[in-house]
Structure 1
Amino acid sequence: MKSILSVILLLVLPALYAQNTIKGQVFDASTSQPIIYASVYLPELEKGTTTNENGDFSLENIPTGDYKIIISSMGYETYSSTITFPTEKTFSFSLTPSAIEMEEVIISTPFHKLQSENVMKVERKSIQELKTKGAVTLSDGITTIAGVESVTTGTGIGKPVIRGLSSNRVLVYTQGVRLENQQFGSEHGLGINDAGIESVEVIKGPSSLLYGSDALGGVLYLNPERFANSNESQANISGRYFSNTQGFNTSAGYKASGEKFKVLFRGSMAEHADYDTKDYRITNTRFTEKDFKAGLGFQDTNFKTELRYNINASKIGIPEEIGDQSTNVTPLLPNQELTNHIFSSKSTVFFNNSSLDINLGYTYNDRKEFEDEHHHEHDAHDDHADEDHHEDEDEHDSHEEENHEEEHPSLHMKLKTFNYDVKYNLPKMGRFETIVGIQGMHQTNTNYGEEELIPNATTNDIGILATTHIHFTNLDVQLGARYDNRKITLDYNTLNRNFNSFNGAIGFKTNLTKSISARLNVASGFRAPNLAELTSNGIHHGSNRYEIGNINLDNEQNIQLDVNLEYKNKHVELFVNGFYNHINNYIFLSPDGTEIEENPVYNYIQDNAKLYGGEIGFHLHPHPVHWLHLESSFETVTGKQDNSNYLPLIPANSINNTLRVEYNTNWLNNGFAFVRLKSTFQQNNVSTFETKTNGYNLLSAGFGGMVKVFNNPLEITISGTNLTNKSYVNHLSRLKYDGLNNMGRNITIGLHYSI
């Protein structure tokens, strides 16, 4: 035994104590002048710095092995290369001037490459970019990404829709762990504040290979803000005012890093009154939110770890009808009180040419819903109500007792989830990069309220995966396979179900010419039925129907084909995405023609379905006016059952056209201005119990930039949405059932000051 331990120590200790340094200079390829403040970043190590006034940089404590280096600066093409450590070389990097936006490393896919190097097509947007477009919430902001929409209940509640799929078919990741917050309900929003989030990545299509169940339709991956660079510190404060809701969002943060330890803190608060339309305010769309995020990191030569914590507490009104016309921010009845805790731990151990990633997460979702005393006495609405509105929403006839809250919530659920994700990055073998891993989840749902929407239950997941990236001269191939098991145990082992699934994926990326690249991906995915689908047996008052679950439901299983073509030169970018998604055993609600307690009975049943469509995008920045940008995109999706009936909650086709300019003056840096017109078409392809919606055009505009105040940067943005104050109804708004319009004209003023 001692001899075995001695051998292990001899193999491991040299790796744990080897350390290396990289030094270099970054300069302009056309002028040979040094580039100051260029970002130098090693994504696998999450370690970076910036160049000084001479374009020089230095990074220390780098473990032995092959690591990617990313160098970027505004106005230049992003540079990417792999360096083998140890090395004694002093590097010289040249960046090519370009009007194309800087590329960033994609975190949501396993090999952490630039998008131009990635086999999978992933959409990435910075939160700052979403804010400049006037987004009120994170759910609102993601709708500016092609192929992404949001099912909304007013402004305070929104959940992502990726190519027509939502709820438990889209998985959300934050702080590197899956977000679990009773997402089966259409009036259950994200519960995440955009403060302290750096960027959003969207994988469109089945991602079960990477993430397991519930990633059948895609993944929304939220990247938290980075820690400060070594031996640097930063503090900032920001605020935004929204004219339509007379609301505000404020945030303050501080982060600092030494050679090994790093910390960050961020607190934020938001308050919004009922949103306004051309003719009236939508009563009880008001909400308040408080959010706090903290992080602690440690990094040594061959080990790095970070701990993060986020608490989000919100109180959100549930709108029902036009009533009280005020600008109060305290929600009326009915409303939700939500508290969401997220703890995460992310660690990596580096060996010679390999590494071990260990991600752990714990989420605690505390959901309370309050309703008025006469909630159970209300009459049913018209039987032709939208299917997309037929979810768990409380209805009542008036707001006469809206200021009275019950002592106890009518619905109170606590969802506690522990996640683990362990991956081993094998040593590179020639053209092959390979990752093997195990992921799992232990989850308990417990009821404490008067009503029981879903039963007490325990869910256990485990998944085993392997994926490989193969590099050829002009071809990249990525493939993988995975096995999953999910066990759901109800009511202290009185009933349980087991679900199993094998899934795989294969993808190809190649450069057809110097300017044209192509991607082809085929992947399968699955989703185990959720507790509501399996166990419902009662009246859902918001939908005015009696819902009956089916404990014998099978997995949803799909296979999707994705094709992507991109053309890019110095002045023009063009992309075309197409997809076809076939889903076996698609789960949906259907009436059986009977009634229970004067409520129509709806059963959860299954049928095969298909979705198809895609996105087309165009970006022109003509020579020599590189400051001018013309952007246009079109997105479409169609969803049908095998019997040719249309699926519910399919977003309407739309076109976005944007004119954008970028400029610098003696007093304003990184200046910008834009005008955008979004044209949404009629949605006539609707399910049996869903209404059609008309088309509309929305005009937006904005401008901003950075000025120096006391020698520190102050970023200013002013933007307006729906500038013509158009009265319209989005097809994915749950309020269209009541004939309530979406938000009218809104002017947003934002300030961000860094110290």
Structure 2
Amino acid sequence: MKNIIFGLLLLVATTTYSQYSASGTVIDTNTGGPIVGAAIQLQKPERSTITDLSGNFSLDNLSEGTYSIVISSLGYGTRTFKFQLPGATGLQIELEPTAIEMEEIIVSTPFHQLQSENVMKVERMTVESLERGGVNGLTDGLSQIAGVESITTGTSIGKPVIRGLSSNRVLVYAQGVRLENQQFGDEHGLGLSSSGVESVEVIKGPASLLYGSDALGGVLYLNPERFAPGGETIVDAQTAYYSNTEGFEANAGVKTSGEKFKYLLRANLATHSDYETGDERRVTNTRFTEYDLKGGIGYRDENYKGDLRYNLNSSRSGIPEEIGVQSTSKSKMLPYQQVDNHILSLDNSFYFNESSLDVKIGYLFNNRKEFEDAHHEEHEEEHEQEEEHEHEGHDEHEEHPEGEPALEMHLETINYDVKYHFPARGKFSTIVGVQGMFQTNENMAEEILIPNARTTDAGVLATTHYHLDKIDFQAGLRYDFRRISSEAYENHDTETEVAALERDFNSYNGALGVKVDLTPNLTSRLNLATGFRAPNLAELTSYGSHHGTNRFEIGNRDLENEQNYQLDLALEYRNQHFELSANAFYNSINNYIFLNPTGEFMDENPVFEYLQNNAKLYGGEVGLHIHPHPLDWLHFESNYELVIGEQDNGDYLPLIPAQSVLNTIWVELADKETLKDTYVSLSLKSVFDQNNTGFFETETPGYSLLNAGIGTSIAMGTARVQVKLAGTNLLNKTYISHLSRLKPDGIPNMGRNISFGLGVKF
């Protein structure tokens, strides 16, 4: 390790000092006139500027080498332009007028390219666009992305589902580091808030080449909000009210940037009562309160970029089991869980003459507690009602001393990600890297879901991109090793000793993809990738009742890696009037791990055991986006998604989302002197019947949900006042999602919800 650190310092010390400049003009292809205010973004080292009134720009203090910039401007197609120093003065860059929306750089793939240049298809949406529909949390908003749904427990707990795969088969990245928060279970949330998140990127399909184990089904990559532009200070505050839960949310942030240092701080509070269904009954104990704090310090110079960020997310969520006490109280009610999630990340980029080194280090601490014993409420009358409900519904739970959790787990993780970007050689770009993780789990209370354990990961990868005028190739290989060591423990309910475990897992994986521009408007992508997932501690070592799921789970110490192979074909057609896309996939999974009911009962709960069988998932998405020119303010979008999951024996897999169609009409009005960013939207999501059910599932009837939103910003001097009004399930439909964990109890999802938001930005 000392030699590695010394080598990095030596590379930085011997870097040639910056001494060159790049300058040029951005013009309109049709008229030849200058484009004012075009954004110029240098990718490595990260730098940005805008064109002046003559369309000119300049980037100073650069070293000798090859560089790539992304040029974007409203009303024009986004373009990537490469140049070499010295000699990059008087550049002339042309942009073509278009009604197609500006593209953004994709961060979750290694070469940080525009989606139109990317071999791998990645879905990207800003959190602002997700929240325009009045969604009640981050996971709720994700269901607006084609191919993405959520497994939910009420309104506070949700886990993303990508093409039918979820939990440990979907990897989540936040602040550039791998999120670890006991995601083996779907009875608690992500431990993340949309506050301070700028955009969401979704890789649909195996991404083990880039991210290792647990990326078998895909990756959810959350990009944090950017720092303020150089020399600026931005202050903002927002508040929102939600009618259904009588919920309240407040958010405030400040960020400022100097020449080299940048700072930001953001805080968020959200609190909600039990949600109300379409038949006007409140679902008892779905109340929750969430606090979120984010801070960041950034540094930029010619040879180095560093981002140090911290996030604390603390949530207290009720664990619902039935429709009982009708209350709008926000006070805690048993049973409930308290989850504190800490993320500390350091993202470093070192820039050399023609190469660069990215080093990301993350420290995560997840403290998960569940409370099941006697409690105290502020109001005596409510206390008596809820105590009666507790004795009726939770007699089977073990009594614990007042104020102490029945379950407490501390998960501590250190992970690292190091990638070296070789100098470009002709049309080749190549990256090699190492990734790894050191993790410990420690139980602090009597109830044990998984034992005290240590997990060690290590992986090495190499990937290359080859670019031609109309064809792009990308390929890569990776090797991973994981060791899991757990301590013996005793199940006190059954007086059973579970032996210690030590297992090693390893896997080779690869990916090969090609993008072909068949015509100037038609693009095809074909990707073949493999992925893997090592069994988690719950699957290997469980033995006992899990009250959050009302199951007695028995692990299987002999489980092997899940290994999958996915073929993905995408076609996209784009012109100034509409965009049409079709994406089909076939995913074969060897040794798929699943829970199977044995028909027995232990500790008054049905017994489920972990088994393996080969499985397959297949389906796809079709999307249409119409934006007729010159009516560029009018948009119509339609997205269809289909997933079918089967075992080799013909049985369907559980928790597979039903077919659905999301139709949206939205209008973006031109900015006026006072009103800015004005929009109106109307959407209808139609979910089909789900009759392809797993062994212990029941069929779910379809439903349709009507949503709407309207908003604008009012310019008042240097300030902007933001006003938003949104409604979800406007027809107050009583329905049950197939992916709701409350479905077995016949508990419907949320009914009509009207939200009103007010904010100010300086």
Common fold by TM > 0.5: yes
- What corresponds to 1:365 in structure 2? 366
Secondary structure at the residue paired with 1:532?
helix
User: Judging changes above 3 Å, is the alpha-carbon distance between structure 1 residues 312 and 542 closer, same or farther for their aligned structure 2 residues?
Assistant: closer
- What corresponds to 1:104 in structure 2? 104
Which residue identity lines up with residue 580 of structure 1 in the other structure? Y
Which residue identity lines up with residue 130 of structure 1 in the other structure? L
The alignment's C-alpha RMSD in Å is 2.4
Q: Alignment length, in residue pairs?
A: 731
- What corresponds to 1:653 in structure 2? 659
Secondary structure at the residue paired with 2:15?
helix
User: Judging changes above 3 Å, is the alpha-carbon distance between structure 1 residues 336 and 472 closer, same or farther for their aligned structure 2 residues?
Assistant: same
- What corresponds to 1:667 in structure 2? 674
Deviation at 1:397, TM superposition (A): 3.3
Q: Is the 8 A contact 2:674 2:714 kept in 1?
A: yes
Structure 1 residue 138 corresponds to structure 2 residue 138: yes
- What corresponds to 1:325 in structure 2? 326
Aligned partners of 2:183, 2:192: CA distance in 1, in Å?
A: 13
Residue by residue over 1:370-423, the C-alpha shift from the partner in whole angstroms, topping out at 9 and shown as x without a partner, is 11359xxxxxxxxxxxxxxxxxxx997348999x98321000000000001111
Map 1:733-752; keep pairs closer than 5 Å: 733-752=740-759
Aligned partners of 2:153, 2:575: CA distance in 1, in Å?
A: 42
Deviation at 1:723, TM superposition (A): 0.8
Instruction: Give the one of 625, 637, 650 matched to 1:644.
Output: 650
Map 1:319-358; keep pairs closer than 5 Å: 319-358=320-359
Q: Is the 8 A contact 1:41 1:48 kept in 2?
A: yes
User: Judging changes above 3 Å, is the alpha-carbon distance between structure 1 residues 189 and 141 closer, same or farther for their aligned structure 2 residues?
Assistant: same
Secondary structure at the residue paired with 1:737?
helix
Deviation at 1:9, TM superposition (A): 10
Aligned partners of 1:444, 1:744: CA distance in 2, in Å?
A: 41
Structure 1 residue 635 corresponds to structure 2 residue 641: yes
Structure 1 residue 427 corresponds to structure 2 residue 423: yes
Deviation at 1:54, TM superposition (A): 4.9
Aligned partners of 2:599, 2:727: CA distance in 1, in Å?
A: 48
User: Judging changes above 3 Å, is the alpha-carbon distance between structure 1 residues 160 and 19 closer, same or farther for their aligned structure 2 residues?
Assistant: farther
Instruction: Give the one of 538, 545, 560 matched to 1:539.
Output: 545
Q: Is the 8 A contact 2:164 2:645 kept in 1?
A: yes
**Comparing 584-593 and 132-141, the one that deviates more:** 584-593
Aligned partners of 1:187, 1:222: CA distance in 2, in Å?
A: 21
Aligned partners of 2:359, 2:21: CA distance in 1, in Å?
A: 25
**Comparing 425-434 and 199-208, the one that deviates more:** 425-434
Map 1:214-363; keep pairs closer than 5 Å: 214-278=214-278, 279-363=280-364
- What corresponds to 2:3 in structure 1? none
- What corresponds to 1:3 in structure 2? none
Aligned partners of 1:585, 1:651: CA distance in 2, in Å?
A: 21
Aligned partners of 1:324, 1:401: CA distance in 2, in Å?
A: 19
Q: Is the 8 A contact 1:157 1:189 kept in 2?
A: yes
Secondary structure at the residue paired with 1:190?
coil
Deviation at 1:593, TM superposition (A): 3.6
Q: Is the 8 A contact 2:622 2:639 kept in 1?
A: yes
- What corresponds to 2:126 in structure 1? 126
- What corresponds to 1:173 in structure 2? 173
Which residue identity lines up with residue 204 of structure 2 in the other structure? K
Deviation at 1:716, TM superposition (A): 2.4
User: Judging changes above 3 Å, is the alpha-carbon distance between structure 1 residues 241 and 23 closer, same or farther for their aligned structure 2 residues?
Assistant: farther
- What corresponds to 1:444 in structure 2? 440
Structure 1 residue 727 corresponds to structure 2 residue 734: yes
Aligned partners of 2:99, 2:614: CA distance in 1, in Å?
A: 46
Aligned partners of 1:236, 1:41: CA distance in 2, in Å?
A: 25
User: Judging changes above 3 Å, is the alpha-carbon distance between structure 1 residues 78 and 587 closer, same or farther for their aligned structure 2 residues?
Assistant: same
Map 1:63-74; keep pairs closer than 5 Å: 63-74=63-74
Which residue identity lines up with residue 296 of structure 1 in the other structure? I
Q: Is the 8 A contact 1:197 1:222 kept in 2?
A: yes
Q: Is the 8 A contact 1:61 1:300 kept in 2?
A: no
User: Judging changes above 3 Å, is the alpha-carbon distance between structure 1 residues 715 and 220 closer, same or farther for their aligned structure 2 residues?
Assistant: same
Secondary structure at the residue paired with 1:185?
coil
Aligned partners of 1:141, 1:9: CA distance in 2, in Å?
A: 43
Q: Is the 8 A contact 1:670 1:706 kept in 2?
A: yes
Deviation at 1:302, TM superposition (A): 1.0
Secondary structure at the residue paired with 2:449?
coil
Structure 1 residue 692 corresponds to structure 2 residue 699: yes
Deviation at 1:76, TM superposition (A): 2.3
Which residue identity lines up with residue 734 of structure 1 in the other structure? R
- What corresponds to 1:475 in structure 2? 471
Deviation at 1:94, TM superposition (A): 3.7
**Comparing 239-248 and 58-67, the one that deviates more:** 58-67
User: Judging changes above 3 Å, is the alpha-carbon distance between structure 1 residues 136 and 60 closer, same or farther for their aligned structure 2 residues?
Assistant: farther
Unpaired segments ≥5 residues, structure 1: 1-5, 375-393
Deviation at 1:330, TM superposition (A): 2.2
Deviation at 1:90, TM superposition (A): 3.6
Q: Is the 8 A contact 1:25 1:56 kept in 2?
A: yes
User: Judging changes above 3 Å, is the alpha-carbon distance between structure 1 residues 350 and 343 closer, same or farther for their aligned structure 2 residues?
Assistant: same
Q: Is the 8 A contact 2:414 2:437 kept in 1?
A: yes
Identity %: 57
Aligned partners of 1:270, 1:335: CA distance in 2, in Å?
A: 17
Secondary structure at the residue paired with 2:131?
helix
- What corresponds to 2:410 in structure 1? 414
Aligned partners of 1:209, 1:8: CA distance in 2, in Å?
A: 25
Residue by residue over 1:6-28, the C-alpha shift from the partner in whole angstroms, topping out at 9 and shown as x without a partner, is 99999865624224433444444
Aligned partners of 1:680, 1:606: CA distance in 2, in Å?
A: 30
User: Judging changes above 3 Å, is the alpha-carbon distance between structure 1 residues 543 and 224 closer, same or farther for their aligned structure 2 residues?
Assistant: closer
Which residue identity lines up with residue 686 of structure 2 in the other structure? S
Deviation at 1:705, TM superposition (A): 2.3
Aligned partners of 2:694, 2:182: CA distance in 1, in Å?
A: 25
Q: Is the 8 A contact 1:395 1:541 kept in 2?
A: no
User: Judging changes above 3 Å, is the alpha-carbon distance between structure 1 residues 395 and 577 closer, same or farther for their aligned structure 2 residues?
Assistant: farther
Aligned partners of 2:83, 2:332: CA distance in 1, in Å?
A: 56
TM-score by length of 1: 0.93
Aligned partners of 1:160, 1:499: CA distance in 2, in Å?
A: 26
Map 1:437-586; keep pairs closer than 5 Å: 437-491=433-487, 494-586=500-592
Aligned partners of 2:413, 2:695: CA distance in 1, in Å?
A: 36
Deviation at 1:610, TM superposition (A): 0.3
**Comparing 323-332 and 360-369, the one that deviates more:** 323-332
Deviation at 1:49, TM superposition (A): 2.8
Q: Is the 8 A contact 2:44 2:351 kept in 1?
A: no
Aligned partners of 2:48, 2:321: CA distance in 1, in Å?
A: 50
Aligned partners of 2:210, 2:268: CA distance in 1, in Å?
A: 32
Which residue identity lines up with residue 562 of structure 2 in the other structure? E
Map 1:66-215; keep pairs closer than 5 Å: 66-215=66-215
Which residue identity lines up with residue 746 of structure 1 in the other structure? N
**Comparing 35-44 and 327-336, the one that deviates more:** 35-44
Which residue identity lines up with residue 308 of structure 2 in the other structure? L
Q: Is the 8 A contact 1:63 1:350 kept in 2?
A: no
Which residue identity lines up with residue 89 of structure 1 in the other structure? T
Q: Is the 8 A contact 2:45 2:304 kept in 1?
A: no
- What corresponds to 2:381 in structure 1? none
Deviation at 1:555, TM superposition (A): 0.3
Which residue identity lines up with residue 427 of structure 2 in the other structure? R
Deviation at 1:297, TM superposition (A): 1.2
Deviation at 1:92, TM superposition (A): 4.0
Deviation at 1:237, TM superposition (A): 1.4
Q: Is the 8 A contact 2:45 2:351 kept in 1?
A: no
Secondary structure at the residue paired with 2:143?
helix
Aligned partners of 1:225, 1:618: CA distance in 2, in Å?
A: 29
User: Judging changes above 3 Å, is the alpha-carbon distance between structure 1 residues 676 and 609 closer, same or farther for their aligned structure 2 residues?
Assistant: same
Q: Is the 8 A contact 1:174 1:221 kept in 2?
A: yes
Aligned partners of 1:11, 1:445: CA distance in 2, in Å?
A: 37
User: Judging changes above 3 Å, is the alpha-carbon distance between structure 1 residues 411 and 497 closer, same or farther for their aligned structure 2 residues?
Assistant: same
